[in-house]
Amino acid sequence: MREAHPDERSVGVEWYVSDADGVGGRLKARAEDFRVTELERYDTEPVDADPGSYAHVVFRATLRNWDTNDFADALAKKLGISRERVSWAGTKDKRAVTTQLFSVKLDHADLPEIDEADIEVLGRAGRPILFGDLAGNAFEITVREPDHPEHASAITASLEEWGAGEVAVPNFFGPQRFGTYRPVTHAVGLDILRGEWEEAVKTYVCTRTDFEPEGTYEIREKIDERWGEGEWGQLTELLPGKLRYERALLQGLAENGGSSPEHFREALERLPRNLQQLFVHAVQSYAFNRILSERLARGLPFHEAVAGDVVCFADKDAPDGLALPDTDREQRVSEKRLRSINRHCERGRAFVTAPLIGTDTEYGDGEPGEIEREVMAELELTREDFDLPGNFDSTGIRRAVQVRTDMEVTEDPLTFSFRLPKGSYATTVLREYLKTDPLDLT
């Protein structure tokens, strides 16, 4: 085990579990270097089924250089409908070639052509595509300009040793969960959870980093300097069109006066529903990363449980060969049950979990529970803080602390082929191989 890259620590990631030196290099030199195909489990009716009963058109799209939210916006605009009528199972990176499921609520099945998108209509469904409809993702990822490709085999061996015979890594949330060039979502979420609605808006609009374009850095700085003036309309005009979410926030304040906490909350509610949810989810992810980092620091196992852990069992409907945890089937681990639970863990039938803390989340017992409570205390949060209005509310869930995969590595070019269960990040696996600046992983 060795210390993580310094820039990863701001999002709670403190360690690499493999001791071998990294291969170096960078990801996504071109979109074709990062290919993702969803592993689906979603049934449809024929495309000519009654729209009254099956209101959602389901389609598979292969996208090149498309952010998922931007593609949904473009599709909705061409159809002349609300973006809220477009749904998908998993948000994907922009600089990639991604094949994924979407649904759109329409009374016809004529979908428009969109640049850099191949669309295949599959049929109709009675409900929209949801996150639970995705089992996982298959990846084929090429690393360009690696410094030491020969290190890959040693890293694989190290990850297999840590995973008790399988390539495995801690199930950290990757940097894209928090904002690649401006990791701000969890900071906004912390403001929201503490009831600081104005600070949340200001954090989103004004936070700047050295990694964003110089022009937007200066604009954010100007708005920060003039924040207390209340001239929201004038501040809106400073923002370029590409910062559309920031513009939406300030425009909302210009319309409602921006003088009370409720006004700032209403401005945040103008953002897309999934972005509102992401702020609080990012706090949960940040806390989860810190819990895993502390578990590593204390030398607790990830491939098997200790007394006080909460485990979940494998999803029986997962595609063959995909280790998919079912967090609806949980069990608290006592000393009495420890041996039998760990036999299930050894056979891939059970997984140790940690909480994405919300109003309904139960802490573990023993040392795992101690870690969870300490992290929450350090963040000055309680479970009750997640009881919020609208899309900011979260009941919480548990998540596997380790992710295992069937890794295949080829050279010239250095390419990694593997599958992951839904919610796990390819960059979380590849960071162990590259051991480089997080920006080289995005």
Dihedral of CA atoms 67, 73, 75, 81 in degrees, nearest 10, equals 160
Tell whether the torsion through CA atoms of 72, 440, 99 and 349 is positive or negative.
negative
Contact 188, 265 (CB under 8 A): no
> CB of 208 within 8 A of CB of 217?
yes
**Which DSSP letter does residue 339 get?**
H
The one catalytic residue in 33, 50, 93, 210 is 93
- Euclidean distance between the first and final Cα of the chain, in Å? 23
Cβ(281)–Cβ(399) below 8 Å: no
Scanning the structure block, which residue is given the tokens 């595509």? 129
CA distance 88 to 72: 9
> H or E element: which one contains 296?
helix 273-297
- Chain CA centroid to CA 302, Å: 21
Longest dimension (CA), the chain: 66
Q: Does an H or E element contain 362, and which? A: none
For the chain, how are helix, strand and coil distributed in percent, rounded to 5?
40, 20, 40
**Residue 385 annotated to the active site:** no
Contact 44, 122 (CB under 8 A): yes
The C-alpha atoms of residue 207 and residue 278 are separated, in whole angstroms, by 17
Q: DSSP assignment of 125-159, as one string?
A: ESS---GGGEEEEEEEEEEBS-S-GGGHHHHHHHH
Identity of the amino acid at 336: K
Residues assigned a catalytic role: 93
